[in-house]
Amino acid sequence: MSRSAPLGAPAEAQNVLAITPFRRLWISLSLSNLGDWLSLLALVSLAAIFTAESSTLVHYLAVTGVVAIKLAPAVLLSPLVGSLADRLDRRWTMVGGDVLRGLLYVSIPVVGLLSSGFALQWLLIASLLAEIVALLWTPARDATIPTLVPKRMLGQANKLTLLATYGAAPVAALLFAALASVSNLLGALVPSMANPEADVALYLNALTFFVAAIVVASLPLPKHAVSKGSLSPNRDANTIHAVLAGRTAVGSGPLVRGVVTGLAVTAAAGGLVLGVGRPHVENLGAGNAGFGVLVAALFLGLGLGVVSGPRVLKQFSRRRLLGLAVVLGALALLFTGAISDMVLSAVLALVLGLGAGLTWVIGTGLISVEVEEEQRDSAFALLHGTGRLALLLGAVLAPLAAGFAGDHEIPLGGPLTYDLYGSGLVLMAGGLIAVVAAVVAYRQANTGDPEAGPGLLPELFAALRGVTPTAEEEEEARLTGAFIVLEGGEGAGKSTQVRELTVWLRDQGFEVVGTRQPGATKLGMRLRGILLDRENSHITDRAEVLLYAADKADHVEQEILPALRRGAVVISDRYVDSLLAYQGAGRDLAVEDVGEISAWATQGLVPDLTVLLDVRPEDGLSRLGGPADRIESESVEFHTRVRKGFRSLAEANPDRYLVLDAREPQEKITREIQRRLRPLLPDPIDSSSEAVTGMIPVIRPEQEA
């Protein structure tokens, strides 16, 4: 499996960005998303500033209002506004949306300067209008991307769009912190900036939207037919319906419950930090700069978790690691509320983000393997919708609860006191609830875990050392990939199935090595020429066995074992069973003797699954259009013995074999193999790519209006 980062190989990203129209659109999207995140930080801070002299409850209610307006419309109003999106010109929807948002955001500090009594009210009104405009802007963006890139590059284009959306968050937070740090200097240069109500971040925020509008206005976008019945693709549309429908489609097994619970816990924890982060850091004496650092740490940790998730403790059970990641995030939230130090708060926010990122990428990776392919879109919609709802509820309810809780001073004896602020109390209470829910998620996810070792701590300590608890388990853990073999008589369709499975598995994010016997190595190609040359009819039966065994020995050592050790899925067209069937049963040699030679040559390596495509010799040979090599030229009686040999092997080991009728349609055979193969697959290293992309469903050309 590929060790690439979730966003794919750098060369692939460069190829997509080499398309000038898409590169310019991507720059525009990056600027717009930077403005979105910057506006969230600035508006929350302004709401806190405007109510600094008010009561604690009013102070927190103002923050609640801003957070709700920024996050709720995308979840609640997208289905209503989406019906209008596809009736508008995409270019001018994006241009107008960026310009309008820029004007609305720049008007907030201006109104604050002109009328301080109306500042908070206009902040809320302008924020709501800007979010409604964004609801039209988002589907226009999503529908434009497929018109600018070839279909084969669409997946990478979506990943880059994901990077522009969520990668802008830590950049905006650090920028906001930097602007807050130099606000005094700016106030000296421009007196109007000295007023804390005129937050310079909103001026810069408006500038990013104006530049984004200019970039989009110059794009050569194709015209599209206005649709009256369908909607443009929108990742936010009808989140609640996606959650309900996804739960129905995916089911409610313990693993699904564990993943959904864990994702909800970490998303809600992040929402709590966003909701009360600004008042909390103010209580710590940090202000706007501290808020920016706190949010930057949270999202940097999230990105670190997503990128490193597939590589962390590779020998450790993925289900156990999922549960531990949720517990890690919950404990970080608990301690964030308990301490009163800004530096430690930022470190704990980083740890919380790390736990959330690990939870997301490991959880989606498990779901992508465990859930049937036809239900996978619903599963990702369920996870994405659950995360958005949990984030929204956490961010909106946290400041509301903190306002009602109030601030308290607890005497510790003598002159010592402990200041318990409402924000810290909410973070601690949320952390306690999150810890309990995390333990539940851990138990659910680990019900029936086939990868679990003898115990949590022994397995964890062994994984930290890079070993497993016992020498036998250590040897088994070295082969982290999966080994699949296609067997069958001549003309059974093995090569076709190898090709179909290779494409399918690569689409799931696996590294796949498609190979064959004989002939996969340099030595194997020479042996193949000798063995299949019709002029070499003088080769004796025992010599033929040894030549085939030599090919398998070289193939296993040079190709198969290295691929399995690095976690790849190996799909081989023929393996040891062909030697047993052709040279054992077909040549009337002792199958036990041939098996001993094969086991020694292949170092005892046994496939995880052997698919036997059963076909009558007459039918299989007729597909070939005539014999092409020495084996195909053998008699029908020989091939009949081979078929019986294959069937005997399958009957003796039914757990490892999947026997299919080769006369069935190719698509049906492929689906049957996929269904049997799915539980045997390792965790896809690139599953994070698919999983994270699931946050923005892949945009396909047929979804266009």
Q: Which amino acid is at 376?
A: R
Residue 668 is assigned to a ligand binding site: no
Burial class (CB in 10 A: 0-12, 13-18, 19+), 445: buried
What is the full DSSP assignment across 118-160?
GHHHHHHHHHHHHHHHHHHHHHHHHHHGGGTS-GGGHHHHHHH
Residue 394 is assigned to a ligand binding site: no
Alpha helices of 339-453 — where are they, by DSSP H?
Answer: 342-370, 376-405, 422-445
Provide the 10 A C-beta neighbour count for residue 475: 10
Residue 490 is assigned to a ligand binding site: yes
Rg (CA), the chain: 30
Residue 82 is assigned to a ligand binding site: no
Give the Cα separation of 583 and 68 in Å (integer): 72
Residue the block writes with tokens 């995390």: 438
Q: Are strands 416-420 and 408-413 parallel, antiparallel or unpaired?
A: antiparallel
Residue 271 is assigned to a ligand binding site: no
Q: Are strands 657-661 and 609-614 parallel, antiparallel or unpaired?
A: parallel
Residue 489 is assigned to a ligand binding site: yes
Residue 455 is assigned to a ligand binding site: no
Residue the block writes with tokens 């996978």: 376
Strands in 609-614's sheet, in edge-to-edge order, are 512-516, 569-573, 482-488, 609-614, 657-661
Residue the block writes with tokens 């209002």: 65
Candidates 574, 604, 600; CA nearest to 479 is 604
Backbone phi and psi for residue 623, each to the nearest 5 degrees, phi listed first: -70, -20
Residue 424 is assigned to a ligand binding site: no
Burial class (CB in 10 A: 0-12, 13-18, 19+), 335: middle
Give the Cα separation of 610 and 608 in Å (integer): 7
Residues across the chain: 705
The β-bridge partners of 612 are 487, 659
Give the Cα separation of 123 and 110 in Å (integer): 10
Binding-site residue ranges for ATP: 488-495
Binding-site residue ranges: 488-495
